[in-house]
């Protein structure tokens, strides 16, 4: 019997359009011999199943079913393609756990932890996983510019703590530009992380569960035409993503080991994509994404392709892992 797979996409954050693209790619490449794929848009104002004729059918949030004319549609598994809230911060993971439907991303605790850059890096630090010197602000806190500069130096990065796709991020060279950057970050989140600038090669490391084992994918080097890997660089062609990365064997082995250790320490499942900057041969972690982009051009699918894993195989592996955890 073919399994019915709900591909959830959209979300409530600035990333919703990117998520819709990811979800449609999953729908396109899903193995039709094994699965029926259903596109589910989860948006602030509606949860709907969008059928092949683009007709919308409301989702019953009580049990995540869909009433059709002749039937009630119930799903065997949820494929999570939502970037940002509520698909990457634990909210939907907890919901699906409560109503007992398997889903492809990590569990709700890991989702909430990894979505919070400050908390993630703090949890991993005692295990020897390094990160940049940082300063934290919550909305309403007194902003002490001298204190910030003294701790992190200039240039520095000002980031929304819980946001993806480089929304709300600025690179700041002068103290008098800090306030503008902080205001920009507050438009995305009420928590901010300000980090010292690390000068080195930036890489992205995909780690997934594949056929029951933790697998590190080929590493991608990020070379941006812009000052840093911002939204324009990520999505508007202002960067080169080189896989495999042009790094030494020692760097490759070290960052692969660190990325795998972080994944296993956190008891992760599903996909992850962690960003690092090398200072010499030492990788410093920036963040971990647990619902990375899944379009044909996205980094994780590129890495899977170099590893000889097709999009269809990549998506199938996530579904089978979820189903096996919840038989």
**C-alpha 65, offset from chain centre:** 26
* Cis peptide, bond prior to residue 293, ω within 30 of zero: no
Rounded distance, CA 266 to CA 127, Å? Answer: 11
- The token duo for 242 is 């080189």
Q: How many residues are there in the chain?
A: 327
Please answer whether residues 270 and 206 qualify as being in contact, where contact means their C-beta atoms are separated by less than 8 angstroms: no
Q: Which helix (H) or strand (E) holds 114?
A: helix 108-115
pLDDT along the chain (327 residues), means of 10: 97 92 98 97 98 97 95 97 95 98 98 96 97 96 97 95 76 95 93 95 96 96 70 56 96 98 97 96 96 94 97 97 85
Minimal CA–CA distance to 322: which of 103, 65, 122, 116? 103
In DSSP terms, which residues pair with 137 in a beta bridge?
192
Tell me the pTM.
0.91
- The token duo for 82 is 């939502």
Rounded distance, CA 320 to CA 314, Å? Answer: 10
């Amino acid at each position: 019997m073919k399994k019915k797979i709900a591909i959830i996409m959209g979300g409530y954050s600035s990333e919703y359009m990117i998520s819709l693209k990811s979800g449609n790619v999953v729908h396109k490449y899903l193995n039709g011999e094994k699965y029926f794929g259903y596109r589910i848009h989860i948006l602030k104002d509606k949860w709907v199943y969008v059928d092949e004729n683009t007709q919308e059918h409301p989702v019953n949030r009580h049990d995540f079913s869909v009433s059709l004319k002749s039937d009630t549609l119930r799903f065997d598994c949820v494929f999570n393609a939502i970037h940002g809230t509520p698909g990457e911060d634990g909210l939907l993971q907890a919901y699906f756990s409560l109503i007992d439907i398997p889903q492809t991303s990590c569990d709700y605790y890991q989702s909430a932890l990894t979505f919070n850059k400050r908390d993630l890096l703090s949890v991993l630090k005692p295990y020897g996983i390094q990160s940049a010197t940082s300063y934290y602000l919550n909305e309403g806190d007194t902003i002490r510019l001298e204190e910030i500069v003294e701790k992190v130096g200039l240039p520095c990065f000002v980031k929304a703590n819980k946001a993806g796709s480089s929304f709300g991020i600025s690179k700041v060279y002068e103290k008098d530009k800090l306030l503008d950057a902080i205001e920009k970050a507050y438009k995305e989140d009420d928590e901010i992380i300000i980090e010292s600038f690390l000068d080195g090669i930036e890489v992205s490391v995909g780690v997934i569960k594949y056929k029951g084992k933790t697998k590190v994918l080929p590493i991608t080097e990020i070379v941006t035409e812009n000052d840093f890997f911002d939204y324009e660089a990520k999505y508007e062609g202002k960067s080169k993503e080189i896989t495999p990365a042009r790094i030494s064997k020692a760097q490759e082995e070290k960052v692969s080991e660190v990325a795998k250790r972080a994944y296993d320490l956190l008891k992760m499942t599903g996909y992850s994509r962690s960003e690092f900057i090398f200072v010499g041969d030492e990788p410093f972690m920036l963040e971990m994404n647990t619902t990375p982009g899944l379009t044909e051009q996205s980094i994780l699918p590129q890495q899977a392709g170099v590893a000889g894993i097709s999009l269809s195989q990549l998506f199938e592996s996530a579904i089978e892992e979820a189903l096996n955890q919840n038989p």
